[in-house]
Amino acid sequence: MKELADRLLAAFWQQTPDYACLLLDPNGIIVGWRGAAESVFGYTQADVLGESIDIIFTEGDIAIGIPTLERTIAAGNGRAEDDRWHVRKDKARIWVSGAMVAIRDHDKVLGFAKVVRDRTDLKTQVESLNRRSDGLEGSLKGQEALFARIAHELRNSITPLSNSIELLTKLANLPEATFALTIAKRQAALLDRMVTDLAEVARVKSGKLLLVKQQVEVVAELQTIANSIRDRARHKHQDLVLLAPPPPLVIWADRQRFHQIIFNLLDNAIKYTGDHGHIWLKCIAEDDALLIKVQDDGFGIAPELLPLIFNLFAQEAPELSAGGMGVGLALVKELVEAHRGFMEVRSDGRGKGSEFSVRLPNPGTPT
């Protein structure tokens, strides 16, 4: 058995195409050059026997004593990990991965075996991915700053516009002027809401969102939110129905953000439901969660678009909407997740309506 093992080991080092084995004496002098050592480092055995192991290290590593440190660690711990840049005979840099192992005779260190593999290809891929990741992170930060700047500039324009509309409303008496001003006020309110959503997304993305949680009586808040948007549904002759258990039903949440979540979902349902359609706002209390659903019998969502519906600037059917930049649903998802909840969307396809579900954890318990 021992003879076979010796033969297999000798054959392995002669035939392995990947692993290089460098045998060193206690002072780091090369006494053996096995396996893929020649193909990995470019030196023949005749080139290196009797030479210091320093010949395969970079000048920077030699300057700070890495070759000696590696042997010291191996002598003390039994092995030293070796994942670093090395240098071939042709001066090309290669990234090798492996270990330096101390070989002992009882308490005496006879020498070392350095077994490594050339992984320059893997290192290059990792560095490329890191550069791409850094680039994407920088791009996202740039986008967040851009959103915040756009929201700020738009806000500066909305304020004098709204003030001018209010002034004209007081001065105008003609029916035609009143009608035109009503439209202008509605569009200014829409623009203000879009800017608010955009600013909120920028705040969430930059980590600046601060939740101020308090006890929120859910049914009363849902009634308030539904009433605040009901006129918009009536404008399209839509029925908006609230289905909820009797109060009180209390959760811990940021009241303002809770309003944003529900309002944006209802606003989305109104926009994507045709005239004379139906919208249901449902609230269900579960053992460890509060489930709120906004369901409609509107335009529905194509199956291939369901995974994209919460993406920033995604609009399921821009030609059917009543305006907007596709920010609302992205903001809703961010706000729900900030409350440690999650969202789901379901639709059987075009023309078959849709249902958005918000699940918030631990009703009645501060989180």
What are the pLDDT digits (tens) for 57-66? 999 889 888 8
Same domain, 216 and 307: yes
Last residue of a domain, one of 209, 225, 256: 209
At a CB cut-off of 8 Å and minimum separation 6, what does 249 contact? 217, 218, 219, 283, 285, 290, 363
The model scores a pTM over 0.85 = no
**Amino acid 89: pLDDT:** 93
* Helix (H/G/I), strand (E/B), else coil: 274: coil
Distance CA 354, CA 225 (A): 20
How far is 55 from 41, CA to CA, in rounded Å? Answer: 10
Strand order in the sheet with 30-35: 30-35, 19-24, 108-118, 93-105, 79-87
User: CA 59 to CA 36: how far, in whole Å?
Assistant: 23
- Helix, strand, coil % in the chain, rounded to nearest 5: 50, 25, 25
Q: Whats the size of the chain, residue-wise?
A: 367
Residue 223: predicted pLDDT: 93
Same domain for 131 and 73: no
Place of tokens 């940021």: 254
Alpha helices (runs of H) in the chain, residue ranges in sequence order: 2-15, 37-41, 45-48, 59-63, 66-77, 120-171, 175-205, 218-235, 255-271, 328-338
Please tell me the distance from the alpha carbon of residue 197 to that of residue 265, in angstroms, as a whole number: 13
Q: Which residues contact 282 (CB under 8 A, 6 or more apart)?
A: 243, 244, 292, 293, 294, 295
pLDDT band of residue 177 (cuts 50, 70, 90) is low
Q: How many distinct structural domains can be found in the chain?
A: 3
Do residue 161 and residue 217 come from a single domain? Answer: no
In this structure, what are the phi and psi dihedrals at residue 129, rounded to the nearest 5 degrees? -65, -40
Residue with tokens 């579900």: 357
CATH code of residue 169: 1.10.287.130
Let me know whether 148 and 283 are in one domain: no
Domain co-membership, 231 together with 160: no
Residues 140 and 103 grouped into a single domain = no
What's the CA gap between 235 and 208, in Å, rounded? 37
Q: How far apart are CA 106 and CA 31, in angstroms?
A: 21
Q: How is residue 271 written in tokens?
A: 């926009």
- Pair (214, 315) in one structural domain: yes
Reading the block at residue 132, the tokens are 């791409």
Confidence at residue 36, expressed as pLDDT on a 0 to 100 scale: 86
Which of 157, 190, 209 delimits the end of a domain?
209
pLDDT digits (tens, 9 = 90+) for 228-283: 898 889 989 999 999 988 878 888 898 888 998 999 899 889 989 999 999 999 98
Distance CA 268, CA 301 (A): 12
57 and 94 Cβ atoms separated by less than 8 Å: no
Do 197 and 93 belong together in one domain? no
Q: What CATH number is associated with residue 314? A: 3.30.565.10
Mean pLDDT of 168-176: 63
> In the structure, how many helices (H) and strands (E) does the chain have?
10, 12
Domain identity same for 60 and 197: no
Chosen domain end from 118, 141, 158: 118
pLDDT, tens digit, 9 for 90 and up, residues 27-59: 999 999 988 889 899 999 999 999 999 999 999
Give yes or no: residues 16 and 105 share one domain. yes
User: What is the residue range of 131's domain?
Assistant: 121-209
Distance CA 130, CA 275 (A): 51
Residues 238 and 354 in one domain: yes
Report yes or no: 339 and 362 within 8 Å, Cβ to Cβ: no
CATH of the domain at 12: 3.30.450.20
* Residue 365, pLDDT above cutoff 60: no
Q: How many CB atoms lie within 10 A of CB 312?
A: 17
- Residue 62 main-chain phi, psi, to 5 deg: -65, -40
Condensed to tens digits (0 to 9), the pLDDT of residues 296-354 reads 999 988 888 887 787 655 554 443 344 444 567 878 888 898 888 988 899 888 888 99
| Residue 167 and residue 140 share a domain | yes
Per DSSP, the three-state class of 179 is: helix
